[in-house]
Structure 1
């Protein structure tokens, strides 16, 4: 793999930096960003000058084309992904390169579907969320012969960057998922139940959180692939400021949701929530199904300190195993080896804790989707 040129867009951002650190010994890296000076600082200070540095402006076609030329793989770590959509992907494919995106999700998938040259690989949603959030439940679910019900939780505590805040706001109502929806009998259904306040799960000892029902498109694919009869997803919020800001913004005009004022409000709210606290990101899953001929239930959780490092680690795993991936257009969670990816992430990030509690008999269904009015 050392002779392959991998172009890294958004190289000196928090996600791109993690990818660069993990891939520098394995391939020939080309670091790209609007500010070549920052990319060169990364190269000299942390990569010992092993990479090539080029300035690239994502909104300049000529600049983007020049950056992608000669690359065998282009990895996009820049954002907001819901604004970039397919700009980097199209330039990479036109230059003869494969493409890997830590974001992308359904809007990008829709634009690229049916447009890939034969034999090429494009992998989307190869980060923490989406990405690891779709892989992690599979590890626990694989211990069951039949999965009947599944709950997935995701959340954490940390300061949002302006780019992350804008990307989140752009995702609302833009194909990423649906609030107050769950999964039942092979389809998405509106839930009657509202957010649960004061939830204090044992995988977050001593911390009360707000769990907001949210069915992402990644979860829909997961529930469908596992043939789960009943499934739910929840976004977790701790501290209250961010949850309150999001509730206010979601009730506003969709055309102005991603305004500069709302972006600043999310950044400020997340900063207030994390003040004096230790940042963390958590994924948790509860499974009920048939194991060893008996109806059982089990829970597992993953907790890391930095969502950007988790995202970058998943992307680096994809790049290192690129030749083993199927050709065509895919979501990361549907084609990666979930257990191998999780093990590699834990090796790279030793502070990432994973717990797989022993399963226990289930005498009644523990996950039921209570439908509301469609």
Structure 2
């Protein structure tokens, strides 16, 4: 299969290429083909084709997608790219996979695809793996009564990631201070906790904010869980303070260059002298073997870009088994296979599960 990777030698695209090389014929697209060629020869042994690509130029994008059977978009900011790459891929006859996209892209894509075609969105770490990971723990329950999902990361944001983060605040990705009860989003009764502690946290207490994403809403609906919460955790005060200042500004100005730079700087200050990490955790209560049971699981990795790229590549490797139509990755990917492959490609990743009866790896 011919696979084109838009942003193919950026941080996320490189990891997608590392995993997929040898499985598919790869075409890597980006603004600096010289950089792409160096990556191709040093890490892929020259097995990919590199092409200059300007995703804001319709002809350049159409030429890149031509001949591809699958186009994977790793370029951002995803909330600005929106449907540019997706529509070019579909017009060329290719399937489409996006590490982001999320609900805003889903809403503007064609309602019906030609027979046999596939589009998969949100195939990264968050969203993506964050929606898959809880399903593995839920599979051990006969009935899930409550769920709490957590995410926290410590690392220097890229300019693109910071801008995407700010754009997500007003684009329907999620809602602050919201929880889940009886099949719908409700105002959370849980206040922010500035001294949140759990055994799986890396450096001690963090700040926890209730935050309900649309991915979590789909997860909670699928699990038929009566009560659930999602939380954003902040490890360090600089990013949290910068975000608070930015959220106080008019929505149209939130993703200004000044605010993006402020977020990048704040993330670097929080990271200073520490080791970067990404962590997803889930806590559940329900019935296991006919008895009330509590269980938790956590996944800890280093580089968020590498984790995002690995999940997207795993999705591409599962492509022939995925259903036709437009879907979110967490709804159609094989969660067990995804976690096994994450551990294979990112061996420093750690996954742990704890129940009232035992501890171990998933």
Q: Which of 233, 255, 258 is the aligned partner of 2:255?
A: 258
Report the counterpart of residue 16 of structure 1 in structure 2. Answer: 13
Q: How many angstroms apart in 1 are the aligned matches of 2:330 and 2:161?
A: 21
Q: Is the Cα–Cα contact under 8 Å of residues 294 and 355 in structure 2 kept in the other structure?
A: no
**Structure 1 residues 205 and 125: alpha-carbon distance in aligned structure 2, compared to 1, 3 A threshold:** closer
**Structure 2 unmatched ranges of 5 or more:** none
Do residues 221 (structure 1) and 232 (structure 2) align? no
Q: How many angstroms apart in 2 are the aligned matches of 1:186 and 1:309?
A: 34
Q: Deviations over 1:223-278 (max 9, x none)?
A: 00100100100011111100111111112110110000100000000000001000
* Matching of residues 91-102 of structure 1 within 5 Å: 91-102=88-99
Report the counterpart of residue 274 of structure 2 in structure 1. Answer: 277
**Structure 1 residues 206 and 31: alpha-carbon distance in aligned structure 2, compared to 1, 3 A threshold:** closer
Q: Deviations over 1:94-123 (max 9, x none)?
A: 000000000000000011141422210000
* Matching of residues 146-185 of structure 1 within 5 Å: 146-185=143-182
Q: Deviations over 1:125-184 (max 9, x none)?
A: 000000000000000011001111000000110000000000011111211000000000
Q: Is the Cα–Cα contact under 8 Å of residues 166 and 258 in structure 1 kept in the other structure?
A: yes
Q: Is the Cα–Cα contact under 8 Å of residues 297 and 360 in structure 1 kept in the other structure?
A: no
Q: Is the Cα–Cα contact under 8 Å of residues 299 and 359 in structure 1 kept in the other structure?
A: no
Do residues 72 (structure 1) and 100 (structure 2) align? no
Q: Equivalent residue of 1:136, what SS? A: helix
Runs of 4+ aligned residues of structure 1 deviating over 4 Å after TM superposition are none
Q: Deviations over 1:29-76 (max 9, x none)?
A: 000001111111111111111111111111000000000000000000
Q: How many angstroms apart in 1 are the aligned matches of 2:140 and 2:262?
A: 43
**Structure 1 residues 205 and 30: alpha-carbon distance in aligned structure 2, compared to 1, 3 A threshold:** closer
* Matching of residues 71-220 of structure 1 within 5 Å: 71-220=68-217
Report the counterpart of residue 367 of structure 1 in structure 2. Answer: none
CA shift at 1:360, angstroms?
5.3
* Matching of residues 43-54 of structure 1 within 5 Å: 43-54=40-51
Q: Equivalent residue of 1:357, what SS? A: strand
Q: Equivalent residue of 2:144, what SS? A: strand
CA shift at 1:192, angstroms?
3.4
Q: Equivalent residue of 1:26, what SS? A: coil
Q: Is the Cα–Cα contact under 8 Å of residues 112 and 325 in structure 2 kept in the other structure?
A: no
**Structure 1 residues 360 and 250: alpha-carbon distance in aligned structure 2, compared to 1, 3 A threshold:** farther
Q: How many angstroms apart in 2 are the aligned matches of 1:116 and 1:54?
A: 28
Report the counterpart of residue 233 of structure 2 in structure 1. Answer: 236
* Matching of residues 241-320 of structure 1 within 5 Å: 241-320=238-317
Q: Equivalent residue of 1:122, what SS? A: strand
Q: How many angstroms apart in 2 are the aligned matches of 1:261 and 1:116?
A: 40
**Structure 1 residues 157 and 205: alpha-carbon distance in aligned structure 2, compared to 1, 3 A threshold:** closer
Report the counterpart of residue 354 of structure 1 in structure 2. Answer: 351
Q: Could you state the TM-score of these two structures normalised by the residue count of structure 2?
A: 0.97
Q: Is the Cα–Cα contact under 8 Å of residues 137 and 297 in structure 2 kept in the other structure?
A: yes
Q: How many angstroms apart in 1 are the aligned matches of 2:110 and 2:354?
A: 40
**Structure 1 unmatched ranges of 5 or more:** 362-374
Q: Is the Cα–Cα contact under 8 Å of residues 326 and 335 in structure 1 kept in the other structure?
A: yes
Q: How many angstroms apart in 2 are the aligned matches of 1:109 and 1:163?
A: 21
Q: Equivalent residue of 1:315, what SS? A: helix
